[in-house]
Amino acid sequence: MTSASVVTLGETMALVRTTEVGSLRHANSLAFGIGGAESNVAIGLARLGVATSWLGRVGDDSLGERIAREIRGDGVDVRVILDSDAASGLMVKERPSASSTAVHYYRAGSAGSRLRPDDLPEGWIEAASLLHVTGITPLLSDTARATVRAAIDRARDAGTSVSFDINYRSALASAEAASPVLRDLAERANVVFGGAEEFAILYPGSSMADAAARLHDAGCATVVLKSGPDGASAFLGDSVVASPGFAIDVVDTVGAGDAFVAGYLSAMLDGFDVDASLRRANACGAMACLVPGDWEAAPTLRDLERFLDDAADPVQR
C-alpha cells in the first residue's frame, strides 16, 4: 500500500462554469471541470511536493471517471469508491458581475454524500503524517459525518496529526445546526483554519481571541485566521503571528482558501516556522485568485518562487 504524508477525504463534484460575465440565463458558452475542497487541497499539496492521497465516492458514470482522472493527473494518490446507486454531484458557477461569483450545488443524494466509515482503507490514515478534513463533508449526511469522525479517531489513536478547515457552507446547514458539529471536530484537531465569521459559528458571541483560546484549551496547537487580501494570523496560545496579504488583480476567489491551506500545510511539513508558513499560504491563496477555476492556479514550488520574487518590491499590504 502506498503511503502518503497527507491523506484527505471528501466529495469532489463535476464543475460547470460560465466563461463570460453575466447570468446563466444568457450564457452562450460553458467550461467543464471538477472541484471539491479536499481534492483542491490535495492537488495543491502535490504540486508543492507533498505526497498526498485523496479518498472519495463518485458515481459509476462519466463524471466520476473524469473526477478520478483529473485528480490523479496532478500526482495525487486517488482512492475512489465507485457508487453504482448514486450519481456524481454537480457544481455550477456563474459570474453575475465582474466582481461577484455565484455557486450552485446539485449534490443532494450524490455518491459523495454516501461516504461511510468502512470506505476508509485499513492502515491508510495510520501510515500518514497528517489527516486533513473540512467542515463540508460532515454536513453532507449522517454517514459522511460518521466517516469524518472515524477518520479523526483513527488519526488520534495512531498519533497522526489532524488539520481541520471549518469551510462552512450555508447551503448545507444553518449556522445553528452546524455549530455543534463543526465545534466538535475543531476541538479534536491539531491545526484549525477558518475565517472570522466561521470561528464565530463555532463559538457564538465570542471574539476571535476567545475562540482561539477555547480551541487551545481543547488541545489545538495552532489556530489560523484567514483574512483574504488582508493576510492571515496564527494564534499559538501565548502569541499571535500575523502575515500580510498580497495585492493582486482578482479574477476568481473560489478555491483560494484551499490553496492557502495547502500552502500552509506544505510549509509546516517542510519544517518552516509559522511566519514563513503564513507567507507561503498567503502567496498560494493569492495565486489561486489569478485564474478561473477551483484548483487550476494552485502553484508549484517553481511558480511560488517566481511569484515571491516578483513580490519582493513592496506589493504586500
CATH code of residue 117: 3.40.1190.20
**Domain residues for 141?**
6-310
C-beta of residue 125 within 8 angstroms of C-beta of residue 94: no
- How far apart (Å, rounded) are the C-alpha atoms in residues 251 and 271? 32
CA angle 279, 284, 289 (to 5 degrees): 130
C-beta of residue 249 within 8 angstroms of C-beta of residue 218: no
| Catalytic residue IDs | 258
317 in a domain, yes or no? Answer: no
For the chain, how many structural domains are there in total? Answer: 1
Give Cα 259 distance to the centre of its chain: 7
**Grid cell 449556522 — which residue?**
175
1 in a domain, yes or no? Answer: no
Residue 57, CA distances (Å) to 13, 119, 120, 128, 309 in order: 10, 9, 11, 20, 40
Q: Which of 223, 215, 187, 193 is nearest to 285 (CA)?
A: 193
113 in a domain, yes or no? Answer: yes
State the greatest distance between any 2 C-alpha atoms of the chain, in Å, as a whole number.
55
220 in a domain, yes or no? Answer: yes
Residue-wise pLDDT tens for the chain (317 aa)? 345 799 999 999 999 988 888 888 888 888 899 999 999 999 999 999 999 999 999 999 999 999 999 999 999 999 999 999 999 999 998 888 877 788 889 999 999 999 999 999 999 999 999 999 999 999 999 999 999 999 999 999 999 999 999 999 999 999 999 999 999 999 999 999 999 999 999 999 999 999 999 999 999 999 999 999 999 999 998 899 999 999 888 887 888 999 999 999 999 999 999 999 999 999 999 999 888 778 888 999 999 999 998 655 444 44
